[in-house]
Amino acid sequence: MPNDGKAWLLISRVETFDTKTAGSEQSGSAVFIWSRTIWIRYYRSTLSSSFLLRGGRVIDPASGFDATADLLISGGTIAEISTKPGKLSVPSGGALIECEGCFVVPGLIDPHVHLREPGAEHKETIATGAAAAVAGGFTSVCCMPNTTPTIDLPSTVEFVQMRAAASRKARVFVAGAATVGRAGEQLAPMGAMSAVGAVAFTDDGDCIASAGMMGKVLAVCASLDKVFMQHCQDPTLTVGGVMNSGVVSARLGLGGWPAIAEEVIIERDIRLNRGHQCRYHVQHLTTAGGVEIVRRARADRQPVSAEASPHHLLLTEDACNNYNTQAKVNPPLRTDDDIRALIEGIIDGTITVLATDHAPHASSEKARDFTAAPFGMIGLECALALYIKALVESGAIDWTRLIALMTIEPARLLGIDALGHGRLAQGLPADVTVIDPNVSWKIDSESFHSKSRNCPFEGWQVRGRAVNVFVAGRHALVGGTLPATAILTAHASFNAL
């Protein structure tokens, strides 16, 4: 866009041109910008409220719809989906986007991210995290409560909602803390947080170690019909642990973190939950033994689900060699056998959700020695391509299943499917992601919209990327680029559309 100090903010029309003549061209009050296969014309005018996505493969796993179709967005909702070529036309003042060769899917949903605000805005803010989400193809994320102060009060839930609405990027749903200060000693006011919009509860970053307190949390979550998401780590078994317990940790002289520390908590909680039947979710599952415990519980019709993260599907403990702090994550990277078990769990339906566990940290923090460096890595902006690499390119699952794991399944987990999220159908909110499955690109954290750069996949060549994203009918990602947007007065209701 021209750097003339004026507000080139809003998109009025998209026109297709011959991409052999790449470059830029200005005419009057308009500017054309080339983005792979389309030219995008920007105007100083009102944002178009209508978009026709033409000729893409529309996939809606919730309904089983999978066909070449046109999708019309109007007034913030999906106005119509038609498999008849030419039936739908661009409304006056609307925008046409050619989607041939692309997938048009429900907006991707990440149920497990860390946005750091309030308290650690040098790592990430709600605005930068929401921007990173859109850049990665996500229309909705659920942020964890391990902030400073902890998200353990209705007022803090509302603070996050208002900051997210002000960002005008991805929707941000909130997981409230189950215990005050995430200390595991006193129940947080979960009912009050639920009343203002908290969609889940967790003490993520810490496990609720007390079985007695865990039983109380499960009972309250069951009464509220909210999912409890557990960070499965017995703290008595991980004292001094900074990576997987095994040959590599022994060679590096680093404290080991055994698989059993994850598995005993999963087993304990499932047993505790038999009397409560709370919806119970295992966050960032990493071990073969944990997969088997969840598999047995689901076969026994227990309300148990689990998620896998991209780094646990692609990296092993070997990534920690040379004391690489970018590979230090909680729970730790495991072994090839664990990766095979996780993928098998995805194939057979034991694992139903994919989640990034996006955990930004400042470069200075990750530059410390391995023991002192913080756990965590970022993932929002490269997760889609990494899942494609681990699961689709490997032949483990097909595209339809991948989209389900990133849309309707996390929507059901958080209970936001009732709001129309995770699905494509007439009359539902127009949260839509357009994916080009063939674009090849190199992961470059310096180009990320996140404030942090702690990405162990730096320099990886990957395939597949979101090129257009709509949030409540707003064109939030345009040809793979985040357009400048006006800062508007925030309304918490934005997240409830």
Q: Catalytic amino acids?
A: 357
Q: Which two tokens stand for residue 146?
A: 């391990």
Contacts of 364 (CB under 8 A, 6+ apart): none
Beta strands at 432-442 and 103-106: parallel, antiparallel or unpaired: antiparallel
Q: Which two tokens stand for residue 385?
A: 């391509």
Helices (H), strands (E): how many in the chain? 13, 22
* CA–CA dist 61, 58 (Å, integer): 10
Task: Give the closest residue to 357 by CA, choosing from 143, 180, 211.
Answer: 143
C-alpha radius of gyration, the chain, whole number? 22
Place of tokens 């694992």: 351
* CA–CA dist 320, 253 (Å, integer): 12
CB 39 within 8 A of CB 16: yes
H or E segment and range at residue 470 = strand 461-471
Which amino acid, 386? L
CB 347 within 8 A of CB 397: yes
* CA–CA dist 331, 49 (Å, integer): 43
* CA–CA dist 127, 170 (Å, integer): 9
Residue 173 CB burial class (10 angstroms; 0-12, 13-18, ≥19)? buried
Alpha helices per DSSP H over 351-435: 363-366, 383-387, 399-406, 408-414
Q: What is Dmax (Cα atoms) for the chain? A: 69
* CA–CA dist 25, 299 (Å, integer): 60
* CA–CA dist 399, 391 (Å, integer): 9
CB 316 within 8 A of CB 339: yes
Q: Which two tokens stand for residue 186?
A: 């006193």
Per-residue CA distances from 484 to 14, 433, 478 (Å): 16, 19, 10
Per-residue CA distances from 43 to 24, 30, 97, 112 (Å): 15, 5, 17, 36
SS3 361: coil
Place of tokens 């994320």: 141
Q: Which two tokens stand for residue 113?
A: 């991210």
